[in-house]
Amino acid sequence: MISQLYGLAGQTLLEAIRRSSHELRAPCAGRGTCGKCRVLVHAASDSAFLESPSSIELEQLTSGEASRGVRLACLARFQATGEVAVELGDDGIAIPIEQLSVSVDLAVQYAAIESGHPLSIAIDIGTTTLAVCLVDIRANAVLSVRTEANAQKSWGSDVVSRIQSVRDDAGALAAMQRTIVHQLDRLIHEQLKLHGRRADELSQVAVAGNTTMLHLLVGADPSGMACLPFRPVFLESRCLQICEYGFKLPSACQLVLLPAVSSFIGADISAGVLATGLHRSEGMELLLDIGTNGEMVLGNAQAMFATATAAGPAFEGAQITHGCPGIAGALDHAGSGAEGFWYTTIKDAPLRGICGSGLLDLIAWLRRRGLMNETGYLDLPDGEKVFRPDPDLPIGLDQRDIRQLQLAKGAIAAGITVLCKHAGIAMGDITRVHLAGGFGYFMRPDSALDIGLLPPDLHGKVRAVGNTALKGALLTIACAEGISQCTAIAAAIETVDLATDQAFQDVFADCMLFPADEELALLSN
């Protein structure tokens, strides 16, 4: 896809993209450190508008790329005001399409009929992807669901990068708010049109999302959440007039923000607990949401403990050499069959990179084949340094990538271990694991167990449950008690701070190791 980009002298290509209707994934938010915001500037004549690549930029490009006109959008700067044609690449992320259903309380149905506003919307704003669901309350039916990549991706791929963008640039908060509101508004109107419905039939839009995403939605400054004392502007559930926030929706329609627990345990997690029923369970259950952040809740009807780990970026490709999100051509699964090693890619497109589920499968395969030992040391035949799924392509995994994965999976496994300790239970006492989020949906639980992302005691208890944040938001519009239950859940969850936990460092280090050969053999049974 070729896009015309207008930029002012002194602006970077990324800044020009942020001010345009175009989007580009910029995982490190334009700090020039991740090398992922590659764009292709086609015509040599256009290149004249841009300063030549600096040494910092050239360090991250291959000589072939540099001569073809590939640039890093965050470092390529306009030296003169003008327009350049750039190829931004197809970045459509594969998002699981789920069958959602709803069961509306009779009282809520009657109220919808009486009020003349029979429709509602449930939304989950994830850092990477978002989902918008149109519900006919009167007819007790989900009409449709739309998912897209979060258009704020030009401001970084994780919450800390987004917050840093707000701190760096006074206009970024308003720009990010405009971007998300515009995107959600469009998705709402598209669905209304699809079903031949009117905006004035809407009664409410219920939104779940992490605490930063909800701040950005209403233009609240998230700066306080990125360093001590990690203070948010608000956590509680809010009921607002949606038309005041830039949505082209009638004033009668309400914007309901679900309640959060803390800066790191957001409304998406309280909604997730509501959706899985963890807060009513007898046995100890674990809700694990491995999205851009890795949040987890362990508990039952008596008590709930939650923590968050910054584990996601590795699984979404940000810190892996050839890592990428779930885009077409991403290696998503791999293993051994009758004919030896095999792999598949998303949409069967030519191999372009490795997404989270593929990373898990590849590393589990390397471990099982003995090509990587339990410390994570890669020992390939013929002294090879890179494991290439397709020997003819440069895409592969090296030792550094495995170290990044060890940090990410170690953090999650250690988080689970520390929560068990706080709850005073053994890992084996957990009766069920709800694996939420897109990554949980795509990844193979066996691979997660093989690499120790999930501790071996959880074998046989893991169930992918899809987007529980969206399902929880749906419950708040379908049940009269939904929002008050969600508020009670948020209040009941006790957060556990890993940074101040004395045992965390040792547990974390232990969890970076891979299962030993004997443990792998046990997992196979």
Partner 1 sequence: MTTLQELAMAVSSGNRKAAKALTIQALDEGVSPGDLVDLSLVPAMAAVGERFKNNEIFVPEMLIAARAMKESMTVLEPRLLAAGITPKYTAVIGTVEGDLHDIGKNLVSVMWKGANVQVIDLGTNVSSAKFVEAIREHKPQVVGLSALLTTTMPALGETVRVIRASDAPPVKIMIGGAPINQHYADEIGADGYAPDAGTAVDKILTLLGAI
Q: Which stretches of the chain bind partner 1, using CB under 8 A?
A: 28-29, 31, 33, 56, 160-161, 163-164, 167, 226-228, 375-377, 399-400, 403, 406-407, 499-500, 505-506, 508-510, 512-513
| Strand partners of residue 354 | 323, 331
Comparing CB distances to partner 1, the nearer of 167 and 238 is 167
Between 136 and 401, name the residue whose CB sits nearer to partner 1: 401
Nearest Cα to Cα of residue 96 among 57, 131, 123: 131
Cross-strand bridge partners of residue 367: none
Residue 185 or residue 401: which is nearer to partner 1 going by CB?
401
d(CA 241, CA 256): 9
Using the minimum distance from each CB to partner 1, give the nearer residue, 168 or 244.
Answer: 168
Q: How far is the CB of 56 from partner 1 (least distance, A)?
A: 6
Nearer to partner 1, 110 or 377 (CB): 377
Under 8 Å CB-to-CB from 124, ≥6 apart: which residues? 130, 131, 207, 208, 209, 268, 271, 467, 469, 470, 473
Residue with tokens 């008050």: 484
Closer to partner 1 by CB, 502 or 524: give it.
502
Nearer residue to partner 1 within complex by CB, 190 or 379: 379
**Dihedral (Cα; 378, 383, 389, 395), 10-degree rounding:** 90
Residue 110 or 230 with smaller CB distance to partner 1: 230
A 10 A CB-CB count for 500 gives 7
Given a contact cutoff of 8 angstroms between Cβ atoms, the answer to whether 314 and 290 are in contact is no
The continuous run of DSSP H or E covering 148 comes out as strand 141-149
Least distance to partner 1, CB of residue 235, Å: 19
Q: Least CB distance from residue 273 to partner 1, whole Å?
A: 26
Residue type, 350: P
| Closer residue to partner 1, CB minimum distance, 315 or 508 | 508
Give the whole-angstrom CA distance, residue 57 versus residue 48. 17
C-beta of residue 371 within 8 angstroms of C-beta of residue 378: yes
C-alpha to C-alpha distance for 336 and 427, rounded to whole angstroms: 30
| 398 in Cβ contact with 385 (< 8 Å) | yes
Minimal distance, residue 399 CB to partner 1, in Å: 4
User: Closer CB to partner 1, residue 33 or residue 52?
Assistant: 33
Kindly tell me the burial class for residue 244, based on how many C-beta atoms sit within 10 Å of its own C-beta (0-12, 13-18, 19 or more). Answer: exposed
CA distances 330 to 75, 152, 186, 506, Å, are 26, 22, 28, 34
Distance between CA atoms of residues 263 and 306, nearest Å: 12
Task: Please name the residues in contact with 151: beta carbons below 8 A apart, sequence gap of 6 or more.
Answer: 23, 179, 180, 182, 183
234 SS3 class = coil
